[in-house]
Amino acid sequence: MTFRATVLTLFPEMFPGPLGISLAGRALADGIWSLEARDIRASATDRHRSVDDTPAGGGPGMVIRADVLAAAIDAASPADDPRPRLLMSPRGLPLTQERVADLAAGPGVVIVAGRFEGIDQRVIEARRLEEVSIGDYVLSGGEIAAMALLDACIRLLPGVMGNAQSGASESFSGGLLEYPHYTRPQVFEGRAIPDVLTSGDHGKIAAWRRAESERLTAERRPDLLRKR
Ligand code: SAH
């Protein structure tokens, strides 16, 4: 089953962009996922093809119009579309690996990428857009946020990652950050690979990795430990 991604944006030429190379790009070429970047402006109706207007109540910037965006959403996604409709937004719930895995297990996503000050509140309500944030900072547009979300989903699709195991031990799966990695050379600028990793004792290696994961998580992300 193909994971179908539709992105509504004022800058469709930004896609597939980085999603066209490496893992995600190969998976796109292989039909494991599909991507449709649709221009919101194609749904503008006035002579000037305007998509935005000044904020009601005053203040800086411009706001994407509800009527234009609703028409764009309706053209991209019929009422019985089973895919969740997401709006990239700093006001949304922060994206988690758990939510990513959830989305990756579904039929795909319809994503609205905002621009300017954001979009008219009424279209969020009328089209039931779920606001999703990729972190507590402000980007100039939702496209890069949409790419981050899609990238995180795509690498979890069956057949995308070379080693199916690598998803299971990663940061956040199991609520911990990942343990440190090492590879050749055996000694780098006087630093050796920890002995346990070259001991061949798989029980000891697993215990060391687990302890490192817990130590790093306690040090850097005590909030994750509290959540577990
Ligand atoms: N005025 C808004 C910010 C608008 S930024 C506010 O203060 O909340 C313009 C667009 O960039 C947003 O509509 C959204 O689609 C996107 N964006 C910015 N920061 C984001 C973030 N942290 N996560 C997801 N999308 C973001």
Ordered by start, the domain boundaries in the chain are 3-154, 170-227
**What pairing do the DSSP bridges indicate for beta strands 3-9 and 33-39?**
parallel
Read off the pTM: 0.96
Phi, psi dihedrals of residue 131, rounded to the nearest 5°: -80, 130
Pull the structure tokens for residue 50.
């305007």
78 CA to centre of ligand 1 in angstroms: 26
pLDDT digits 0-9 by tens, 154-195: 999 999 997 666 667 788 988 999 999 999 999 999 999 999
pLDDT digits 0-9 by tens, 41-68: 999 999 999 999 999 999 999 999 999 9
Secondary structure class of 113 (helix, strand, coil) = strand
Helices then strands, each counted (H, E), the chain? 7, 9
Residue nearest to atom 21 of ligand 1 (CA): 90
Q: Same CATH fold, 170-227 and 3-154?
A: no
Evaluate whether 46 touches 103 at the Cβ level (below 8 Å): no
Topology, domain 170-227: Trp Operon Repressor; Chain A (1.10.1270)
41 CA to centre of ligand 1 in angstroms: 19
Give the residues surrounding ligand 1 with Cβ less than 6 Å away: 88-91, 113-115, 117-118, 133-135, 137-139, 141-142, 145
The whole-angstrom separation of Cα 119 and Cα 89 is 10
Evaluate whether 82 touches 139 at the Cβ level (below 8 Å): no
Mean pLDDT for 137-150 is 98
Mean pLDDT for 19-29 is 98
Return the CATH architecture of domain 3-154.
3-Layer(aba) Sandwich (3.40)
